[in-house]
């Protein structure tokens, strides 16, 4: 039996009873690849449809529409395929060749569209990050990408930073040290995340994203994602999609060893807890102990993840679970590297770290979740998700500041505890409806998110005077001083939302998507530092409307053209001259493109042009313009624009050759004067104008088919910060991988990163901080044993 697990292609739910199988459901499925049609039929009916992967490979299904039983709908989808539907003794449904006995099936959970585990693919047939609709990439009128479980394993990725290296259009920057990563797209920071499609307030100070063991895949949407997140920048969103429990037993042990004593182990087990498979569980444990290429900078990372799924009825599934993630980082850097006063780089060895040996940055995350999924008899479904996350951080670090009339730097110290708790709830209904003789789809839902801050204590030394010569620095020679802790910060962020999206079938080739989201946002923060108590920093945004529109025209069964207009808002605490909070910053994304899916959706390609505009940005006013009692005031007159185009291809060029490639051209500028910056000046010069990424894996033919070879390359143009004259010229970084399947159960892989040992800065900042080297050449040897 193949271990191939096609995403959302076979259903694991309670074995459908004969009575349930005769229930009528509304279907309106277009012609397309057979496995996707079976996925949707099973998901609508909540039935079990099992099949061997090779049986449906390369096969297509005709359109399926009308009020049908699951057996009738499946039979129509199998028309002309040479396959038939059979009912087994336990009541489940199996697809088999018409003239042969039933083969052992491979199953995948259809309640989770887009599962990539076991598919060996670099793409997915189903995504839901742009809207709540489960759509193929071609059916989605925005730019979307996925980094699959196969890609994560082929590339040896261990953190979300690693994923961003391959994801088209994404770049990263470091705020201070290496434990605070920012993600950027199209010139704007991605500050809105999703966890299984539910909004997540991402905080780079406290949240751990250094362990990927519990995720099936990562979905990325580029452009404004206001329909899914409400508040945020017009950059996009990142959706972290976790692994699910399976009804087929599976167990694997993965170990790896690499450069700088990088040792890691992972155990992943899943399967049914009862004979019927209606109760399933999964557990993942991972641990990493590693040095880094920086002197005396280490990582100890651990993850415990578990989930249980229960089919309460044939139509209702309850999933509960949680995870504990801890990341200890002795020697962590809080500053990054400086440059010379003229912005030129020092001739540093890449192992340098300008923080004391006793510095650290530790994170601890605990999360619990519950999901209730119900499928109604009329083809509608409902989903309710609740999630909690407590994210804590404890750090002690150093930072640099310039000294007058000196080429050296002063060093400051800080020690802080952060404690943040999130509560989120999201619920929605989705299903078909008929209007003017055509069948359409509708989503109605609402969400709630509260993020509570209880930070502190925090402090610094009372008497500490350290001068740093960056070219002659000994991190072990600094004695740890005594600290005082007068700092604390408490507050909250609360967002309530209601949303509706519809997918209207205007004609057989033409689909219109319309949506709107209404948000109520509230923020409050109070800071105390010694005798100083900050004035209240609260503000509210009431009934902020976020519209959405997309139009898709199918040129044929493989190609479509689309255009979309999406928006997002970002509340801001800056005050006007009268002392009132400014209106939210508004971001819009106008996009048009063409998409194609080939080999029954196993290869996806797209080309898009985009224009992002962000208005109501705060522009500082003269102090004399501020009302009495208002220390700083602003006008909402700032406006910037980001334009460009993207090309992307992902999936199987041949059954033996997987590829993920993307090119992004991006240019941004100020549209209105912003203080000393004139209209027309470049806006975000830290985003490269040209960015190309390629990763690939090829299985050798014939008697060498146990071997796989591949690699990756990232090429980008120059980045700079003109205000500090800091500039990193364009560069390319190459990776390589060789893998060998020693047996049916054992897979070995050797990854080489930065193959040619390129010396470069992967992120730049000012003359005093935030400049970070890219890692030197590194090796990683991995063994995975699957039971």
Question: Could you tell me the pTM of the whole model?
Answer: 0.86
Taking alpha carbons only, the member of 565, 555, 577, 472 closest to residue 509 is: 555
> Burial level of 395, CB count in 10 A (0-12/13-18/19+)?
buried
Q: What is the rounded distance in angstroms from the CA atom of residue 781 to the CA atom of residue 259?
A: 9
3-state secondary structure 386-435: EEEEEEEEEEEEEEEEECCCCCCEEEEEEEEEEEEEEEEEEEEEEEEEEE
Full DSSP string of 329-384: -BT--SS-B---TTSPPP---TT---S-TT-EEEEEEEEEEEEEEEE-TTS-EEEE
Q: What is the rounded distance in angstroms from the CA atom of residue 704 to the CA atom of residue 432?
A: 49
Q: What is the rounded distance in angstroms from the CA atom of residue 353 to the CA atom of residue 346?
A: 13
Query: Mean of the pLDDT values across residues 313-322?
Result: 95
Taking alpha carbons only, the member of 645, 434, 441, 644 closest to residue 552 is: 441
Can you give the pLDDT at residue 112?
56
Window from 400-414, 584-598, 657-671 with minimum mean pLDDT:
400-414
Under DSSP, the state recorded for 581 is B
The fraction of the chain above a pLDDT of 90, given in percent, is: 73
Query: Mean of the pLDDT values across residues 762-779?
Result: 96
Q: For residue 103, name the pLDDT band (cuts at 50, 70, 90).
A: very low
Q: For residue 40, name the pLDDT band (cuts at 50, 70, 90).
A: confident
Q: What is the rounded distance in angstroms from the CA atom of residue 633 to the CA atom of residue 670?
A: 21
Cβ(188)–Cβ(235) under 8 Å?
Answer: yes
57/475: higher pLDDT: 475
> Burial level of 376, CB count in 10 A (0-12/13-18/19+)?
middle
Taking alpha carbons only, the member of 643, 636, 663, 652 closest to residue 600 is: 652
**pLDDT, the chain, mean:** 90
Q: Where are the beta strands (DSSP E) in 508-558?
A: 510-529, 532-533, 539-554
The first and second tokens of residue 763, run together, are 């992120």
Dihedral of alpha carbons 94, 96, 101, 107, sign: negative
Window from 384-398, 467-481, 708-722, 768-782 with minimum mean pLDDT:
467-481
Give the helix/strand (H/E) hosting 41: helix 34-45
- Chain centroid to CA 571: how far? 22
List % helix, strand, coil for the chain (3-state, nearest 5).
Answer: 10, 55, 40
Domains of the chain, with CATH numbers?
Answer: 1-110 (3.55.50.30), 250-347+357-786 (2.40.170.20)
> pLDDT, tens digit, for every residue of 134-181?
899 999 999 999 999 999 999 999 999 999 999 999 999 988 777 889
Cβ(137)–Cβ(649) under 8 Å?
Answer: no
Q: What is the rounded distance in angstroms from the CA atom of residue 340 to the CA atom of residue 361?
A: 27
Can you give the pLDDT at residue 388?
97
Can you give the pLDDT at residue 592?
98
Can you give the pLDDT at residue 37?
83
Window from 2-11, 504-513, 684-693, 702-711 with minimum mean pLDDT:
2-11
Taking alpha carbons only, the member of 60, 107, 116, 55 closest to residue 658 is: 116
Q: For residue 113, name the pLDDT band (cuts at 50, 70, 90).
A: low
> pLDDT, tens digit, for every residue of 203-243?
889 998 878 999 999 999 999 999 999 899 999 999 999 99
Q: For residue 109, name the pLDDT band (cuts at 50, 70, 90).
A: very low
Can you give the pLDDT at residue 25?
77
Mapped onto helix, strand or coil, the DSSP state of residue 261 is coil
With a cut of 90, say whether residue 405 has pLDDT above it. no
Window from 84-88, 474-478, 589-593, 762-766 with minimum mean pLDDT:
84-88
């Amino acid at each position: 039996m193949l271990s191939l697990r096609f995403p959302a292609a076979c259903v694991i739910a309670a074995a459908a009873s004969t009575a349930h199988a005769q229930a009528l459901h509304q279907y309106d499925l277009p012609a397309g690849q057979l496995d996707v049609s079976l996925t949707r039929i099973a998901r609508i009916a909540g039935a079990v449809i099992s099949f061997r992967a090779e049986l449906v490979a390369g096969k297509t299904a005709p359109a399926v529409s009308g009020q049908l039983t699951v057996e009738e709908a499946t039979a129509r989808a199998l028309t002309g395929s040479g396959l038939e539907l059979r009912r087994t003794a336990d009541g489940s449904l199996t697809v088999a060749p018409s003239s042969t006995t039933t083969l052992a099936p491979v199953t995948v959970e259809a309640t989770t569209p887009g599962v990539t585990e076991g598919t060996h693919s670099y793409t997915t047939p189903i995504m839901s990050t742009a809207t709540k609709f489960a759509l193929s990439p071609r059916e989605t009128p925005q730019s979307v990408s996925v980094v699959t479980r196969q890609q994560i394993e082929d590339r040896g990725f261990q953190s979300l930073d690693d994923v961003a290296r391959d994801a088209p259009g994404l770049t990263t920057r470091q705020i201070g040290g290496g434990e605070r990563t920012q993600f950027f797209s199209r010139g704007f920071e991605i500050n809105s995340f999703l966890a299984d499609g539910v909004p997540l307030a991402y905080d780079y100070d406290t949240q751990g994203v250094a362990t990927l063991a519990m995720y099936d895949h990562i979905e990325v949407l580029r452009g404004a994602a206001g329909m899914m997140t409400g508040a945020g920048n017009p950059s996009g969103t990142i959706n972290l999609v976790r692994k699910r429990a399976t009804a087929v037993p599976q167990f694997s042990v993965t170990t790896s060893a690499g450069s700088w004593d990088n040792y890691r182990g992972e155990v992943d087990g899943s399967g049914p807890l009862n004979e019927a498979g209606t109760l399933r569980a999964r557990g993942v444990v991972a641990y990493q102990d590693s040095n880094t290429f920086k002197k005396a900078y280490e990582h100890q990372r651990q993850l415990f993840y578990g989930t249980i799924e229960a089919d309460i009825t044939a139509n209702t599934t309850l999933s509960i679970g949680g995870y504990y993630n801890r990341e200890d980082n002795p020697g962590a850097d809080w500053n990054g590297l400086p440059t010379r006063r003229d912005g030129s780089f020092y001739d540093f060895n890449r192992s340098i770290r300008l923080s004391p040996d006793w510095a650290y940055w530790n994170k601890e995350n605990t999360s619990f979740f519950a999901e209730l999924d119900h499928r109604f008899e009329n083809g509608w479904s409902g989903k309710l998700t609740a999630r909690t996350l407590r994210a804590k951080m404890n750090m002690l670090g150093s930072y640099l500041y310039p000294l007058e009339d000196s080429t050296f730097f002063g060093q400051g110290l800080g020690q802080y505890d952060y404690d943040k708790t999130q509560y989120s709830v999201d619920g929605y209904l989705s299903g078909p409806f008929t209007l003017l003789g055509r069948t359409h789809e509708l989503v109605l839902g609402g969400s709630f998110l509260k993020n509570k801050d209880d930070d502190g204590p925090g402090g610094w030394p009372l008497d500490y005077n350290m001068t740093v010569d960056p070219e002659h620095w000994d991190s072990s020679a600094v004695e740890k001083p005594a600290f005082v802790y007068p700092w604390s910060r408490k507050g909250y962020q609360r967002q309530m939302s209601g949303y509706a999206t519809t997918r209207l079938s205007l004609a057989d080739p033409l689909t219109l998507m319309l949506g709107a989201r209404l948000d109520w946002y509230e923020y409050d923060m109070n800071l105390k530092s010694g005798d100083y108590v900050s004035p209240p920093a609260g503000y509210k945004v009431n009934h902020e409307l976020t519209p959405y529109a997309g139009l898709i025209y199918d040129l044929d069964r493989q190609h479509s053209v689309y255009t979309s207009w999406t928006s997002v808002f970002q509340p801001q605490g800056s005050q006007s001259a009268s002392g009132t909070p400014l209106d939210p910053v508004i971001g819009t994304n106008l996009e048009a493109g063409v998409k194609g899916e080939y080999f029954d959706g196993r290869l996806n390609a797209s080309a898009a042009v985009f224009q992002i505009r962000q208005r109501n940005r705060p522009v500082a006013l003269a102090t004399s313009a501020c009302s009495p009692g208002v220390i700083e005031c602003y006008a909402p007159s700032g406006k910037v624009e980001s334009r460009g185009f993207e090309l992307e291809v992902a999936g199987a060029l041949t059954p033996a050759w997987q590829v993920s490639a993307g090119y992004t051209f991006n240019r941004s500028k100020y549209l209105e004067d912003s203080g000393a910056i004139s209209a027309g000046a470049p806006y975000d010069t830290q985003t490269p104008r040209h960015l190309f990424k390629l990763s690939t894996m090829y299985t050798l033919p014939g008697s060498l088919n146990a071997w796989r070879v591949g690699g990756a390359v990232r090429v980008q143009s120059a980045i700079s910060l003109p205000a500090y004259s800091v500039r990193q010229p364009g560069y390319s970084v190459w990776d390589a991988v060789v893998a060998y399947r020693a047996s049916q159960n054992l897979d070995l892989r050797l990854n080489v990163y930065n193959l040619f040992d390129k010396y470069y800065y992967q992120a730049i900042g000012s003359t005093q901080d935030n400049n970070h080297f890219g890692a030197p050449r590194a090796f990683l040897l991995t063994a995975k044993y699957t039971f």
